[in-house]
Amino acid sequence: MYRELADSLRYIGETVGDDVAFDEGALRSLCEALVSGEAPDPLVFALYYQLVFAIADEDAGLAVDLLDRIVSLQPLAESEIRILGEDLGMERSALYARLVEENEPLRFDVAQPPEDAVAAFRQVLPAAMQLVEAAAPDLASEIRGLARQIVLVGQGPEHEAIFDGGSHFQIWNALFLNIQRPHSRVALAEVLAHETAHSLLFGFCIDEALTLNDEDSNYSSPLRHDPRPMDGIYHATFVSARMHWLMERLLATDLLDDHEREEARIALERDRENFEAGHAVVAEHGVLTETGAQLMSGARAYMDAAPGEAVVPEPDRAKATS
């Protein structure tokens, strides 16, 4: 994804170079950093899309402003946690909130979270990541790579639907978590697996989409009450398999207490039900690209091989002999 962004920015720079004055050296440095694998500020992706729209509209003034802002943003040396509002920056927060709300049939009313909720959530988030690290280290590494910027958000009083987390292809590498939702460490671990799975799918769509269905045709969704386009059904189905995988791995460890094991067991069953419901819709109505077919085939193969019930962890031999 970073290399593709660099190639596109280079092309834009070469195309508009004679008509728009901008810091070509800074753009070159940014592209080199992207190619080398340095994670950009997620705002770079958001501003890039606005830049493309500005060029299409032949708005040279806005285009040069956006290019200047893009090249001024420093790469993220490590993942960061930010709070929607003044901590993140009001202009950026407004842009992020607008994009997260975009194309949603029911309003989320994304808002700055209350301070007391932030303090409590900062205790749960590392505990949830520690669970993922211990049970599924490969997934933990993937989450860290896909969620370079975790944005803590709340919901305002005018919301029409509740959400646990969110992501958007135009803000790739950013993950939004609704901290006003009650989150145990098991539930939050599942949310992290869920939302980064969406980002993973966005990353696979560089060359082609996942589905070719008419965007105006809606179908029943396993994770939503409202009918959704096929691409949304596809996403919901795939991420259900990812959540099931994490719950399976957690249940195969001795990391959970009895209450958490029951919570994970219930989630495991729910994730399987959601996957099967979504897969049936995709199988019947989905028009998949080669990429979409390959990814769904992998998810289907995992679900077919996964245990039908919760896995009981092996006894700790050291404890048993002590």
Structural domains counted in the chain: 2
Residue 124 neighbours by CB under 8 Å, 6+ apart: 183, 184, 185, 188
Q: State pLDDT tens for residues 232-275.
A: 999 999 999 999 999 999 999 999 999 999 999 999 999 999 99
Q: Tell me, what's the pLDDT at 41?
A: 97
State which residues form the domain around 43.
Answer: 2-72
Identify the pLDDT of residue 320: 37
Which tokens hold the place of 8? Answer: 């596109």
Question: What sign has the CA pseudo-torsion 300, 304, 310, 312?
Answer: negative
Which residue reads 């009918």 in tokens?
227
Identify whether the C-beta of residue 121 lies closer than 8 Å to the C-beta of residue 191.
no
Instruction: Work out the end-to-end distance of the chain between its first and last CA atoms, rounded to an integer number of angstroms.
Output: 51
User: What is the phi/psi pair of residue 83, to 5°?
Assistant: -115, 130
Is 216 inside any structural domain?
Answer: yes
> What is the residue-level pLDDT of the chain in tens, covering all 322 positions?
999 999 999 999 888 766 667 888 999 999 999 999 999 999 999 999 999 999 999 998 899 899 999 999 999 988 999 999 999 999 999 999 999 998 788 899 999 999 999 999 999 999 999 999 999 999 999 999 999 999 999 999 999 989 999 999 999 999 999 999 988 999 999 999 999 999 999 999 999 999 999 989 999 876 677 789 999 999 999 999 999 999 999 999 999 999 999 999 999 999 999 999 999 999 999 999 999 999 999 999 999 999 765 555 554 433 333 3
Taking Cα atoms as reference points, which of 244, 234, 298 lies closest to residue 269? 244
- Please identify, among 35, 51, 72, the residue that sits at the C-terminal boundary of a domain: 72
Tokens of 33: 């950093």
* Last residue of one domain, picked from the residues 41, 72, 103: 72
Q: Three-class SS of residue 58?
A: coil
Task: State the pLDDT at residue 220.
Answer: 81
- Alpha helices per DSSP H over the chain: 2-16, 24-35, 42-56, 60-72, 90-101, 115-135, 137-146, 185-203, 230-251, 258-285, 290-305, 317-321
- How high is the pLDDT of residue 318? 38
- Domain C-terminal end among 25, 53, 72: 72
Specify if 89 maps to a domain.
Answer: no
Task: Answer yes or no: is 10 within a domain.
Answer: yes
Query: What single-letter DSSP state applies at residue 315?
Result: P
In a domain, 133, yes or no: no
Q: What's the one-letter identity of residue 173? A: N
Q: Tell me 36's DSSP state.
A: T
269 belongs to a structural domain: yes
Q: How far is CA 177 from the centre of its chain?
A: 10
- Judge whether 127 lies within some domain: no
Q: What pLDDT, on the 0 to 100 scale, is given for residue 225?
A: 75
**pLDDT at residue 315 in the model:** 46
Inside any domain, residue 65 = yes
